[in-house]
Amino acid sequence: MYVNYPELLNDGKWGDDKVIIESDTNLLTNTIFDEVGYCIIDVINNNELLQKVLTTKIYDETKKKFELEKYHNCINENEHTTILNKMPYKTNENEEIIKYSKYLESVVSDILKEDVKIFNDDLWFRICRPTSIFPNDFNPCHKDIYLDFYRNTVNIYVPVVGSNEMSSLNIQPGSHKWNENVTFVTSGGAFFKSINNKYSVDAIVASKTPLQMIRPNPLNSQMLLFSPYLIHGCANNDNTDATRISLEVRFIKNDEDALIQEKSFNNFVNKRICR
C-alpha cells in the first residue's frame, strides 16, 4: 500500500469493485487519447484576454492593480477569500468573453467529435500562491467525479500566469479507467486536522499501485484537456515568487440531461464557502 496522507487513514475506505467511467458518459470515447485520459491541444493564444478578465475582477473587489504573478505579494487573506467567493464567472459577461467561450466550445467539440457546451456557463480561475508561503492553496489528490455533479464531463486547464514545470497541474495518466478498489478514499470531503483545513472533494489517501503523477505543462498557446475521472490535483506551486493562475472549464454533452446536472451543481455552489 502506498500512503499519500497518513493523517487521513482513519477517515476513509477502499473503493468498490467497479470502474466508474464504464457506467457513465465517457466523452473521450471518440478520441485517440482515451486510454491515457488527456491531451495537449494547440489553441489561439488568448492569454492577454484572460489576464485582463481576472485583473479587472480583482480590481473591482480590491481597487488594486498589479502583475498577476505577484498576486501573493499584493492580496491579503481576506481579499483572497473574497476573490474566490466571487467565482465562477459567467460566459455571458461581455462580448469578448462570449466570443472566447464559443471558441472553446467549438475547439473541444471538434476534438471530442461530440457536441458539448460549457458546463453551467462557468469559467473558473484557479489561484495557487507559492506553496513555500501558502501551503494549502491546492486540492489533495482526487477525482472530480467524487462529486456526482461533475460526472459525464470533461475538463480543460489553460495557463494564465506562473504555470510551468514547477507548478502546473498534476495528473495520473490512465487512472480514469482504474478500478475503484485500488484506492482508499475519504468520504464527505477531506479534513486535515493538522492544518484545520477542509476540502469539498474527497482525497485519495492511499493506493495499491504507486501514483506517478506528471505535469503535462501546456504553454500559453495550448490547453490541457483531461478526463475528470483521472486522478489529479496535489499540484503544489514550487515557484518561489510567482503565483500560478489557470483557467479551468468543464464541458458536458449539449442535451437535456446536462440541465439536471447543472441544477445539482448550483445547489452545491450556493451553499459552499471558499477557504
Predicted confidence pLDDT, tens digits, the chain (275 residues)? 899 899 999 999 999 999 999 999 999 999 999 999 999 999 999 999 999 999 999 999 999 999 999 999 999 999 999 999 999 999 999 999 999 999 999 999 999 999 999 999 999 999 999 999 999 899 999 999 999 999 999 999 999 999 999 999 999 999 999 999 999 999 999 999 888 888 889 999 999 988 999 999 999 999 999 999 999 999 999 999 999 999 999 999 999 888 888 988 888 777 665 54
pLDDT of residue 274: 52
pLDDT of residue 273: 55
pLDDT of residue 269: 72
pLDDT of residue 133: 95
Per residue, the 3-state secondary structure of 127-167, as one string, reads: EECCCCCCCCCCCCCECHHHCHHHCCEEEEEEEEECCCCCC
In the chain the domains, ranked by start, together with CATH numbers, are 2-271 (2.60.120.620)
pLDDT of residue 1: 83
Q: Which three cell numbers stand for residue 217?
A: 505543462
pLDDT of residue 66: 97
pLDDT of residue 267: 81
Burial class for 115, CB neighbours closer than 10 Å (0-12, 13-18, 19+):
exposed
Residues 227/153, Cβ–Cβ less than 8 Å:
no
CA 11/CA 18 separation, integer angstroms: 21
